[in-house]
C-alpha cells in the first residue's frame, strides 16, 4: 500500500504494517464484524461506519460469513492536505481512540454510501485535468459528513486551536513510539513546552481520559504487539521497552494485563 488513497472491499489490510501510515474509513454494507480495539470488543454492523486512527490499538477483527464492507485508506500526510479547515477532527480523534464505530441513521447511511462512491469515482478518473483537486474535494465531503455523524452522536463543540495543537502533538509522540522509553507525563509536558498539569487537564477535557491513561494505553499496545512477534525473546522486549530488568517488565505486564508475558504469548 504505497498510494495516498487506497480502496478495498473487506478488511484484509486493516492492522497490517502496510496500512500503518494510513487512516481507515470503513462502511459496513452487510453482516457484522467483531472489532477488538483498545482492549474493547466492539460490534461493527450493517449501516455502521468506522474510523481506525491507529493500527497499534487494533487487536484483531472477526467478521461474519456474510460480512461486506468498503474501506478507504488515506495516508496521514495526505489527509492533512484534504482535511477541512477546522479543529473538530482533533475532538473526534479523542472519542474514536476509545470507540471507532459510529451507528448511523438511515439518512446518514445514504449520505455515507454516496460519499464512498464519489471518492471511488474520483480516484478512478485519473485523466481529469484537475484530478487531485477533484479527489481532495470528494474526500473533504466524506470527512465533513463523518464530522457531522460524530457531532450528532457525541455533541458539537469547538476545540480551541491551542488545545487541538497540543493534543495532536502529544498523540504524535505516542504514535511514534516514545512510550517505549518514556512513561511519565512530565517528559511529554517538557517536550511539548507546557507544565504537566496543563497537559493532563487539556487531555482530560478533550478526551475524558488523563494523559497517563493514554501513555499506559499506548505502552501496553506496543508491548502486546512485540509479544506477538515470536522472533523476540521476553528479555529482548524488556530491553526494547527500557525496563530496568526482566522481573520489572514481568510485574508491569501482570499488573496491567492480568497475565505474564509468556501467558499472553500462549
Position 165 scores a pLDDT of 79
Edge-to-edge strand order for the sheet containing 32-37? Answer: 40-45, 32-37, 58-63
Which CA distances in Å does 182 have to 87, 103, 105?
28, 36, 42
Beta bridge mates, 63: 33
Which CA distances in Å does 104 have to 52, 109, 153, 246?
16, 6, 9, 47
SS3 category, 24: strand
Position 205 scores a pLDDT of 79
Give the three cell numbers for residue 263.
501467558
Position 91 scores a pLDDT of 58
Residues 58 and 51: their CA atoms lie apart, in Å, by: 12
Position 88 scores a pLDDT of 56
Position 1 scores a pLDDT of 45
Per-residue pLDDT of the chain (266 residues; tens, 9 = 90+): 448 999 999 999 888 878 888 889 999 999 999 998 877 899 999 999 999 887 777 888 999 999 999 999 999 888 877 776 555 555 566 667 778 899 999 999 999 999 999 999 999 999 999 999 999 999 999 999 998 998 898 876 566 778 777 888 898 898 888 999 999 999 999 999 999 999 999 888 777 788 998 899 889 888 988 998 889 999 999 999 999 999 999 999 999 989 999 998 87
Residues 114 and 117: their CA atoms lie apart, in Å, by: 5
Residues 111 and 119: their CA atoms lie apart, in Å, by: 12
Amino acid at each position: 500500500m504505497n498510494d495516498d488513497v487506497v480502496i478495498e472491499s473487506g478488511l484484509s489490510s486493516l492492522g497490517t504494517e502496510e496500512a500503518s501510515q494510513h487512516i481507515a474509513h470503513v462502511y459496513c454494507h452487510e453482516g457484522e464484524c467483531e472489532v477488538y480495539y483498545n482492549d474493547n470488543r466492539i460490534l461493527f454492523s450493517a449501516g455502521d461506519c468506522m474510523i481506525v486512527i491507529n493500527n497499534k490499538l487494533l487487536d484483531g477483527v472477526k467478521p461474519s460469513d456474510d460480512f461486506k464492507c468498503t474501506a478507504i485508506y488515506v495516508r496521514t500526510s495526505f489527509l492533512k492536505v484534504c482535511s477541512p479547515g477546522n479543529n473538530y477532527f482533533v475532538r473526534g480523534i479523542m472519542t474514536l481512540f476509545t470507540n471507532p464505530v459510529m451507528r448511523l441513521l438511515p439518512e446518514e447511511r445514504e449520505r455515507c454510501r454516496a460519499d464512498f462512491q464519489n471518492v471511488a469515482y474520483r480516484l478512478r478518473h485519473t485523466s481529469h485535468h484537475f484530478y487531485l483537486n477533484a479527489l481532495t474535494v470528494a474526500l473533504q465531503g466524506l470527512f465533513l459528513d463523518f464530522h457531522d455523524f460524530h457531532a450528532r452522536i457525541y455533541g458539537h463543540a469547538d476545540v480551541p486551536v491551542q488545545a487541538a495543537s497540543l493534543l495532536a502533538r502529544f498523540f504524535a509522540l505516542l504514535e511514534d513510539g516514545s512510550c517505549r522509553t518514556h512513561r511519565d507525563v512530565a517528559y511529554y509536558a517538557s517536550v511539548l513546552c507546557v507544565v504537566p498539569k496543563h497537559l493532563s487537564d487539556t487531555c482530560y477535557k478533550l478526551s475524558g481520559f488523563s494523559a497517563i491513561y493514554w501513555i499506559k494505553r499506548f505502552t501496553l499496545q506496543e508491548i502486546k504487539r512485540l509479544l506477538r512477534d515470536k522472533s523476540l525473546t521476553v528479555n529482548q522486549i524488556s530491553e526494547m521497552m527500557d525496563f530496568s530488568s526482566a522481573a520489572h517488565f514481568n510485574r508491569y505486564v501482570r499488573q496491567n494485563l492480568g497475565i505474564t508475558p509468556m501467558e499472553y504469548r500462549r
